[in-house]
Amino acid sequence: MTWAPLRIVCISDTHGEHERIAVPPGDVLIHAGDLTGLGHMDEISVFNVWLGRLPHRHKIVIAGNHDFAFERQAPEAERLITNAIYLRDRAVGIEGLTVYGSPWQPWFYDWAFNLRRGAEIAARWARIPQTTDILVTHGPPAGHGDRTSSGQVAGCKDLLDRLGQVRPRLHVFGHIHEGYGTTLEGNTTCINASCLDLGYKPVNAPVVFDWE
């Protein structure tokens, strides 16, 4: 299949600081989770208003480990996102591309969307369709943008394994603020799009990916 060129703007881990982030124009905006500080409903509402002011014709949002309301009060929280497509373990077609989004990560303290490493989280990744072109998860795959300031490798090996099976062209994530940047896994471009640094300052620019 031939796709028209698309400019995809990737952000993540804005934690309520979205107004301080200079988001460049593009065709598709992807937010890979942690849009709030503590997942309160009013934070989601404010974020949704901000989304509505952005010019991108397609906007994709998933939740992250800070976004408690999307786990604990899912129907109510999801209804607040009216200016984007919210994905939780499902896919959507955009401009001929299949985009799949999922909020889970290996167990991380007592935050939201935690699953045990091994069979439990592998079963979740098994849901990713083989036809996925763009994968959006909150947490990183092992070895890509996943090293913490203490040297811990926090990425998910089971996600990396599934990435190798599906082989999407683009994988967008965040979660580990220190891991901001772009790497390659085979033919998959892996983008840790965390906008905030470890001190929760919005110093990392959105990452632009041109799909041609």
pTM: 0.96
Decide if 1 is inside a domain. no
Query: Is the distance from CB of 64 to CB of 34 less than 8 angstroms?
Result: yes
Strands 207-211, 6-11: pairing is: antiparallel
Q: What residues have CB less than 8 Å from 109, skipping those under 6 apart? A: none
CA 164 – CA 21 distance, rounded (Å): 32
Beta strand spans in 53-113 (E): 58-61, 85-86, 90-94, 97-102, 105-106
Query: Is the distance from CB of 70 to CB of 89 less than 8 angstroms?
Result: no
Closest CA to 132 of 35, 60, 56: 60
Decide if 83 is inside a domain. yes
CA 92 – CA 107 distance, rounded (Å): 27
Which pLDDT band holds residue 2 (cuts at 50, 70, 90)?
A: very low
Q: How many CB atoms lie within 10 A of CB 198?
A: 13
For the segment 62-115, what is each residue's pLDDT rounded down to a tens digit? Answer: 999 999 999 999 999 999 999 999 999 999 999 999 999 999 999 877 889 999
CA 52 – CA 39 distance, rounded (Å): 19
So what's the pLDDT on residue 74?
97
For the segment 135-148, what is each residue's pLDDT rounded down to a tens digit? Answer: 999 999 999 999 98
Q: What is the CATH number of the domain that holds 62?
A: 3.60.21.10
Decide if 168 is inside a domain. yes
For the segment 126-137, what is each residue's pLDDT rounded down to a tens digit? Answer: 999 999 999 999
- On average, the pLDDT of the chain sits at 96
| Residue 82, token pair as written in the block | 């009216």
Decide if 189 is inside a domain. yes
H helix count then E strand count, the chain: 5, 13
User: What's the rounded mean pLDDT across residues 178-187?
Assistant: 97
Decide if 13 is inside a domain. yes
Q: Give percent above pLDDT 90 in the chain.
A: 92
DSSP H helical ranges for 11-72: 41-53, 69-72
156 residue type, one letter: C
- What is the count of structural domains for the chain? 1
Decide if 42 is inside a domain. yes
For the segment 148-173, what is each residue's pLDDT rounded down to a tens digit? Answer: 888 888 899 999 999 999 999 999 99
Query: Is the distance from CB of 41 to CB of 69 less than 8 angstroms?
Result: yes
Give me the domain span that covers residue 47.
6-211
Query: Is the distance from CB of 184 to CB of 150 less than 8 angstroms?
Result: no
CA 198 – CA 128 distance, rounded (Å): 30
Decide if 159 is inside a domain. yes
Beta bridge partners of 183: 190
DSSP H helical ranges for 11-106: 41-53, 69-72, 74-79
So what's the pLDDT on residue 148?
87
User: What's the rounded mean pLDDT across residues 186-206?
Assistant: 97
Reply yes or no on whether the pLDDT at 3 is more than 70. Answer: no
Decide if 143 is inside a domain. yes
Reply yes or no on whether the pLDDT at 1 is more than 80. Answer: no
